[in-house]
């Protein structure tokens, strides 16, 4: 019976292969550590803008407000939402600033001792402003 001799990688070939795998592991590990040390954009602190100063930290975000028979919701057009407000509601403050997609308006209102804030901005470039947030204070 004949024995088939296996070809072995030479000692220098084994060392070079192990060194290549070790170098690749170190490179991948350093890339992972670098990504973990950087702050993702979603968690980066944004500069304080006029709009963020207009919304107090104790304000609570709500999806909709109802006034008598009318309701305004997040996502409604600003013009439509303003027509649904009662005439007894008084605007106390209005701040306009430029956002990433256009003009952002922060309007503060008061009615019967209740304060609420409407934030309106376009959802895409060139679109009409829509309510992006409603806050109660």
What per-residue confidence (pLDDT) applies to 27?
Answer: 95
pLDDT at site 1: 60
Q: How far is CA 74 from CA 44, 101, 109, 120, in A?
A: 25, 17, 16, 9
pLDDT, averaged across the chain: 82
Average of per-residue pLDDT across 103-127: 88
| CA-closest candidate to residue 133, choices 83, 62, 66, 49 | 62
pLDDT value of position 39: 64
Q: Is the pLDDT higher at 98 or at 120?
A: 120
Rounded Cα distance, 121 and 105, in Å = 6
Residue 57's nearest CA partner among 132, 117, 12 is: 117
| The pLDDT of residue 137 | 82
pLDDT category at 114 given cuts 50, 70, 90 is confident
| Strand boundaries in the chain, DSSP class E | 60-62, 64-67, 70-73, 90-98, 103-111, 114-122, 129-136
């Amino acid at each position: 019976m004949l024995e088939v001799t296996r070809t072995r990688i030479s000692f220098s070939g084994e060392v070079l292969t192990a060194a290549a795998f070790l170098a690749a592991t170190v490179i991948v590990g350093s890339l992972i550590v670098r990504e973990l040390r950087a702050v993702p954009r979603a968690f980066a602190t944004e500069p304080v803008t006029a709009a963020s100063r207009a919304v107090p930290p104790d304000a609570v975000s709500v999806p909709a407000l109802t006034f008598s028979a009318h309701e305004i919701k997040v996502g409604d057009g600003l013009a439509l939402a303003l027509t649904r407000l009662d005439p007894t509601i008084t605007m106390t403050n209005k701040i306009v600033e430029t956002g990433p997609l256009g003009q952002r308006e922060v309007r503060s209102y008061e009615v019967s001792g209740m304060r609420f804030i409407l934030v309106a901005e376009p959802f895409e470039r060139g679109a009409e402003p829509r309510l992006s947030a409603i806050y109660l204070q």
